[in-house]
Structure 1
């Protein structure tokens, strides 16, 4: 069994990896993970590159702050996924460059804003919904995610960045990385003749890698 101490260490380790590779800058981004009696989340105004595992915020199952530093002001984004997607073990919110750039484009399909360009975005991320713009810290964003009814494991917040859920911390981080790399490809190939995976190819991937 993974202990809370192990999860705290993993949050700090993976957060530093994301920061060191440019997936977040300054105090941008926040990461959470479920524990038996609540939720751990990176503190408000903290830098993902320099987290102290012992100071990571802890909330109880009702969302009350019970330990560590003050939680991220965007904790409601995380709780919306835990509440609507059974089996969610972690949530990653980044301001990664290309996913954020994609979220600023005006011609995205709000129901499927990351087309199936590669097999891995299908396998690890799936369809990505677009959440209309509300200012950072507006709890209405959490309700907009709840309104999706758990249909997506990942969304783009318009003009803001990605939020990605996974069954555990590693899965959520890998999916967030895959989303960023796919967004990079989409931006780089924008305006060029591009071949997407066909519906049959997408179905095959979802069938073969259902438990991937």
Structure 2
């Protein structure tokens, strides 16, 4: 099965738009962060290495076969394996967003978070778009052990937080992955703003009720 030219063009343009939106709102900076999306034939489009999300060229995005082989476009990001881990374990994923967003990274550095679920259920939209958020232990960039750790958690979670690094978030569509990433960042910000104060998170019953609304 081959993707149509119009499908690929639309997806390339969408990645550029989302990247610019994320960058312009300071959710990432410099050449940090990367975005990928999957075509109907299983091929992947991904932002290349050393590229600012605020200044992407649709024609130069890295393209991979469904098997993960780089076949076209600029040299791929060294974090491409993070995206492939999510797609392999989440067949319904159509896009993945990985950022070094400030508040999410800050939370990933805290010593007292629950590694099975980093953030409390502060809002309904966080629960619906992210759910539970496991923390992946720190591994140096490019370490293959990181790929295995992410893949293991991705079997049951659409989003993970890399310790001292940042979030990796999947979605059925690029828009869903973007919105979930933004909801995660805002919840991380709320969590830090409320530090030291008594909070009233959603109850387990309220969280359970929201699972049917995702």
Give your verdict on TM over 0.5: yes
Pick the TM interval, shorter chain. Answer: over 0.9
Indicate yes or no: 2:20 matched with 1:11: no
Gaps (5+ residues) in structure 2? none
Mapped contact 2:154–2:160 kept (Cα < 8 A): no
Aligned pair count?
A: 209
What are the equivalent positions in structure 2 for 1:142-161 lying under 5 Å apart? 142-148=147-153, 150-161=155-166
TM-score in terms of structure 2 length = 0.95
Looking at structure 2, the residues matched to 61 and 202 of structure 1 have their Cα atoms a distance apart, in angstroms, of 36
Q: Which residue of 1 aligns with 2:32?
A: 28
Residues 22-65 of structure 1, C-alpha deviations (whole Å, 9 max, x = no match)? 01100000000001241111001100000000000001111111
Q: Which residue of 2 aligns with 1:123?
A: 128
Bigger shift: residues 158-167 or 138-147: 138-147
Residues 107-149 of structure 1, C-alpha deviations (whole Å, 9 max, x = no match)? 1111111110111100111100100000122232111011225
* Cα distance change on mapping 1:121 and 1:26 into 2, 3 Å: same
What are the equivalent positions in structure 2 for 1:155-174 lying under 5 Å apart? 155-174=160-179
Looking at structure 2, the residues matched to 108 and 63 of structure 1 have their Cα atoms a distance apart, in angstroms, of 34
Higher helix proportion (structure 1 or 2): 2
Looking at structure 2, the residues matched to 62 and 149 of structure 1 have their Cα atoms a distance apart, in angstroms, of 18
What are the equivalent positions in structure 2 for 1:166-205 lying under 5 Å apart? 166-205=171-210
Looking at structure 2, the residues matched to 16 and 49 of structure 1 have their Cα atoms a distance apart, in angstroms, of 4
Indicate yes or no: 2:94 matched with 1:89: yes
Displacement of 1:102: 0.4
Partner-residue secondary structure (3-state), 1:92:
strand
